[in-house]
């Protein structure tokens, strides 16, 4: 698969002098918020990205079988004094499977002007973890937030044939498909399958 870059981006890449800016955007239910690793707020495509919170874009990990490739991203300074910071209070949102876009912009190192997009990837939130540090001499702990991401459900699980819910099964097949109707309760409730005798 070949990737076609904007001519200005391609020229900068060929010239060997670029500045990369990593952005991450969360489309949480009812709220869109963005973060980057720069030192001041940065506005791109109408969204202001908050600085100094997005620590790491993480690496991807995968395995054989039906597992999909995952990626873990890390944030610092949780909680924060900013009451409008959605990622610091992510548990107030129905964040599971919310879309996340990680983009890498190409900039001119001399002018800091954004030339275009080098690459972007879309994911869904799979899991959120809070990690506590050791207690400092002052009796305080630091908290970091790790968010596990997976590729968008239907495209990823379409290749592995794995479905997580009846809604996904119905989306991929028929709106009346009830194949996964009891999937969430089979571990705790006995369910009869097949034909009933007499």
pLDDT for 125-163, tens place per residue? 888 888 776 666 666 666 778 888 888 765 555 554 555
Q: Residue 151 in 3-state DSSP? A: coil
* pLDDT per position as a tens digit, 9-61: 787 778 888 888 888 999 999 899 998 887 788 898 899 998 866 666 665 55
- Across the chain, mean pLDDT equals 75
Q: How many domains does the chain have?
A: 2
The whole domain housing 194 covers 163-198
pLDDT band at 164 (very low <50, low <70, confident <90, very high): low
Indicate yes or no: pTM above 0.85: no
Same structural domain for residues 145 and 179? no
Same structural domain for residues 146 and 182? no
158 part of a folded domain: no
Cis peptide before 141 (omega within 30 of 0): no
Other CB atoms within a 10 A radius of the CB of residue 32 amount to 13
Same structural domain for residues 14 and 97? yes
Same structural domain for residues 149 and 167? no
Residue 79 confidence (pLDDT) above 80: no
């Amino acid at each position: 698969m070949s990737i076609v870059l904007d001519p200005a981006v391609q020229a900068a890449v060929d010239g060997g002098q670029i500045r990369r800016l990593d952005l991450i955007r969360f489309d949480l239910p009812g709220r869109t918020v963005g973060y980057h690793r720069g030192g001041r707020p940065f506005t791109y495509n109408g969204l202001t990205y908050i600085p100094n919170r997005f620590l790491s874009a993480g690496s991807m990990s995968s395995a054989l079988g039906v597992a999909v490739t995952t990626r873990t991203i890390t944030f610092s300074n949780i909680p924060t004094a900013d009451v409008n910071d959605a990622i610091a209070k992510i548990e107030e949102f129905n964040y599971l499977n919310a879309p996340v876009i990680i983009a890498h912009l190409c900039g001119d190192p001399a002018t800091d002007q954004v030339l275009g997009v080098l690459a972007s990837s879309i994911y869904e939130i799979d899991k959120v973890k809070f990690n506590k540090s050791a207690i400092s001499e002052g009796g305080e702990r630091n908290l970091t937030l790790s968010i596990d991401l997976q590729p968008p459900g239907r495209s990823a699980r379409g290749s592995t044939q794995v479905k997580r819910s009846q809604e996904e099964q119905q989306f991929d097949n028929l709106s009346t498909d009830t194949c996964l109707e009891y999937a969430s309760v089979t571990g705790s409730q006995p369910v009869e399958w097949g034909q009933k005798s007499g």
